Amino acid sequence: MNKYAALVMTAVVGMLLYDRICWANLDAASIAAWVQAVGSIIAIVIAVAVPLVQQKRERELRAQTEKEIASRQSLIFVSIAARVERAVQRAIADFTQGVGNDRMDTGELDELLTRLADAQQTAHGRAAQQLVFQMHELARGVREQVTTHRFERNDYWAGEFRIWQNNARGAISKAMAMPVN
C-alpha cells in the first residue's frame, strides 16, 4: 500500500472519530482507553511495517549482490575463454609443426583445466555453468587429442582444428554476452 494512501486513510478515520465522539464529555478512564486503543493500532501498524521494510531492503541488497557477482563472473569467464582460445591456438600450432606428443607442453591447458574445475564449483546461474562446462570440455578434449594422437595432414585434423577454434571463439562470445542482471 502506498504510504500516502495510508496517511490519508488515517486522517479520514481520525476526522470521523473526532466528529462522532464528544471528547469534552469523556472522563479520564475513557480518554485513557481511547489513547490505549490508538496506541495499540499504531503498534500493530509498526509491527507489520518494520518486517516488510526489512524484507524489501534485503531483496534489494540480494539483487545488487547478485548483479555484482554476475558482473565479476562475466569478466572472469571472458578472461578464461580468451586463455582457452590462446591455448587451443598454441596446441594447434605445436601439433601442426610436428612437435611430438611426448614433447607437447600441456602446462597451460592443465592450469586452465584446474581453473575451470574451480569455476564449475562457483559458477552462478545455469548459463554460467553451461559455459564453464563447455570451456572445460573443449580444453580437456584438445589436451587429450594432442597428447594421445599422432598428427597427420588430412581433412580429419583440418576439421578438428576448425571445430576447436570455433568452439573457443564461441565461448568468448558467450562469456561476453553473459547477462549481467
pLDDT of residue 180: 57
On whether the CB atoms of residues 84 and 143 are closer than 8 A, the answer is no
pLDDT of residue 181: 52
On whether the CB atoms of residues 128 and 73 are closer than 8 A, the answer is yes
The per-residue pLDDT for range 98-117, each reduced to its tens digit, is 665 555 667 887 888 888 88
Residue 58 has pLDDT above 80, yes or no: yes
Rg (CA), the chain: 33
The domain segmentation of the chain, as residue ranges, is 3-56, 65-176
The per-residue pLDDT for range 126-162, each reduced to its tens digit, is 878 888 888 888 888 888 877 777 666 667 777 888 8
Residue type at 174 in one-letter notation: K
Residue 70 has pLDDT above 80, yes or no: no
Quick one: cell of 171?
565461448
Residue with cell 596446441: 91
On whether the CB atoms of residues 66 and 181 are closer than 8 A, the answer is yes
Q: Is 100 helix (H, G, I), strand (E, B) or coil?
A: coil
What's the first-to-final CA gap in the chain, in angstroms?
27
